[in-house]
């Protein structure tokens, strides 16, 4: 390894991309032997700083000189994908695979392109080929889990993520997938997110997710208390607030579903709401011991029913969001 290559590698490892680009441009046309390496560093540096148009420009220049370099074509495919130019991305990675069909990384890129195209069958085929070539790369297993998840193989997908975390407990991609797709309990999500932020304190997505959980425990009990007060006012002044009769049950059911994540405030909420309704329905007899027991029993059953329903709601919400936005978060 010559002195120039060592300096480029050090700057790249230190993520000093401005200095790297300056050094690369200064030496770009001074040596034909280093020209391809310099082009490669320039492209990757622009990619890592989010300047995809410039990265694409230097990909084209590099391929004009070295038209059959599969790695440059794979970088070009990644750039097109970041620019949402999926047709061009697919074409570039196919050209790379024609030149080198034995590089697992190229099949990973192809799989991700198919994810963006919502073609999960082909995405699975591509990642299977990557795993055939290199079964030791945990990133491939994570993408494989996501493909299985989208093809209704949730159980197997979850097992794969758990296996990845057993081998590498601090794998931030696997932790992120687990907390997004395979964990519905907020306490567990919170623990995972805290681990992720310990590994990467500047992860904005994890910060947002953790803030959501904090807000959940702050606002859901407050909203439940508000609903109880509104319900009490409605029942004591039924004729005056009759228009609420059609809307209150929807708010009640929504809070039951959302609140099922923590029984400590959900069961009391359900019990109080049922108690208010039962009391005003049974006036002037009031509530008897049997009514209290029935309310406690039904409240508990309803909470666990909502707990069973909640994961399916989250699952389909996640699928819809990822179909709309793509899987970019797990492609980096």
CATH code of the domain in which 8 resides: 1.25.40.10
Q: Which long-range contacts (CB under 8 A, 24 or more apart) does 15-22 make?
A: 15/48, 17/45, 17/48, 17/49, 20/45, 21/45, 21/46
CA distance 176 to 95: 32
Residue 121 sits in a domain whose CATH number is 1.25.40
185 domain-assigned: no
111 in the same domain as 46: no
Q: Which domain holds residue 162?
A: 107-169
203 domain-assigned: no
238 domain-assigned: yes
119 in the same domain as 90: no
161 in the same domain as 123: yes
88 domain-assigned: yes
149 in the same domain as 71: no
The mean pLDDT of 195-220, rounded to a whole number, is 85
The number of folded domains in the chain is: 3
Quote the mean pLDDT of the chain.
Answer: 84
Which burial class, exposed, middle or buried, applies to 91 when counting CB atoms under 10 A from its CB (0-12, 13-18, 19+)?
middle
215 in the same domain as 321: yes
286 in the same domain as 247: yes
29 domain-assigned: yes
118 in the same domain as 87: no
For residue 286, what pLDDT band results from cuts at 50, 70 and 90? low
Q: How confident is the model at residue 309, as a pLDDT? A: 67
The mean pLDDT of 37-65, rounded to a whole number, is 94
177 domain-assigned: no
150 in the same domain as 80: no
Select from 74, 101, 128 the last residue of a domain: 101
pLDDT, tens digit (0-9, with 9 covering 90-100), for 110-125:
999 999 888 999 999 9
Q: What angle do CA 202, 203, 204 make, to 5 degrees?
A: 100
pLDDT at 78 over 90: yes
Q: How confident is the model at residue 271, as a pLDDT? A: 86
Q: How confident is the model at residue 326, as a pLDDT? A: 45
Distance (Å) of CA 216 to CA 210, 259, 265, 266? 10, 9, 12, 13
Query: Does 284 sit behind a cis peptide bond, omega within 30 degrees of 0 on the bond before it?
Result: yes
In this structure, how many other beta carbons lie within 10 angstroms of the beta carbon of residue 214?
A: 11
pLDDT, tens digit (0-9, with 9 covering 90-100), for 16-45:
999 999 999 988 877 777 889 999 999 999
Select from 41, 67, 101 the last residue of a domain: 101
Select from 143, 169, 195 the last residue of a domain: 169
CA distance 38 to 257: 56
314 in the same domain as 278: yes
Q: How confident is the model at residue 323, as a pLDDT? A: 47
CA distance 291 to 276: 12
Q: Are 42 and 18 in contact (CB under 8 A)?
A: no
User: Of the given ranges (144-148, 208-212, 282-286, 304-308), which has the lowest mean pLDDT?
Assistant: 282-286
What is the percent of the chain where pLDDT is above 90? 41
Q: Are 81 and 331 in contact (CB under 8 A)?
A: yes
pLDDT, tens digit (0-9, with 9 covering 90-100), for 155-165:
999 999 999 99
187 domain-assigned: no
User: Of the given ranges (70-84, 203-217, 256-270, 275-289), which has the lowest mean pLDDT?
Assistant: 275-289
Q: How confident is the model at residue 310, as a pLDDT? A: 63
For residue 1, what pLDDT band results from cuts at 50, 70 and 90? very low
For residue 317, what pLDDT band results from cuts at 50, 70 and 90? low
127 in the same domain as 87: no
88 in the same domain as 134: no
pLDDT at 91 over 70: yes
Residue 159's contacts (CB-CB under 8 Å, 6 or more residues apart) are none
312 in the same domain as 219: yes
Q: What is residue 292's three-state secondary structure? A: helix
206 domain-assigned: no
């Amino acid at each position: 390894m010559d002195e120039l290559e060592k300096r480029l590698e050090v700057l790249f490892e230190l993520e000093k991309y401005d200095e790297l680009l300056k050094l690369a441009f200064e030496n770009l046309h001074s040596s034909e032997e280093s020209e391809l390496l310099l082009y490669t560093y320039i492209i990757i540096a622009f990619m890592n700083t989010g300047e995809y148009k410039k990265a694409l420009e230097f990909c084209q220049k590099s391929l004009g000189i070295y038209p059959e370099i599969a790695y440059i074509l794979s970088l070009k495919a990644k750039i097109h994908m970041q620019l949402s130019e999926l047709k061009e991305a697919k074409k570039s990675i196919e050209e790379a695979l024609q030149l080198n069909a034995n590089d697992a990384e190229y099949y990973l890129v192809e799989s991700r392109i198919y994810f963006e195209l919502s073609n999960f069958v082909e995405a699975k085929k591509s990642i299977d080929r990557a795993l055939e070539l290199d079964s030791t790369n945990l990133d491939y297993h994570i993408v494989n889990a996501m493909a299985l998840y989208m093809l209704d193989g949730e159980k197997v997908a979850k097992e794969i993520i758990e296996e990845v975390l057993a081998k590498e407990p601090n794998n931030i991609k696997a932790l992120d997938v687990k907390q997004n797709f395979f964990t519905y309990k907020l306490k567990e999500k919170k623990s995972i997110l805290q681990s992720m932020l310990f590994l990467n304190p500047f992860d904005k997505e994890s910060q947002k997710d953790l803030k959501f959980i904090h807000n959940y425990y702050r606002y859901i009990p407050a909203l439940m208390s508000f609903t109880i007060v509104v319900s009490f006012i409605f029942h004591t002044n039924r004729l005056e607030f009759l228009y609420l009769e059609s809307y209150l049950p929807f708010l009640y059911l929504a809070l039951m579903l959302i609140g099922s994540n923590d029984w400590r405030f959900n069961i009391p909420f359900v019990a109080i709401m049922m108690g208010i309704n039962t009391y005003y329905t049974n006036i002037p007899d009031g509530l008897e011991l049997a009514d209290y027991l029935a309310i406690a029993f039904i409240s508990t059953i309803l909470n666990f029913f909502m707990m069973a329903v909640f994961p399916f709601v989250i699952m389909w919400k996640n699928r819809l969001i990822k179909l709309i936005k793509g899987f970019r978060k797990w492609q980096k």
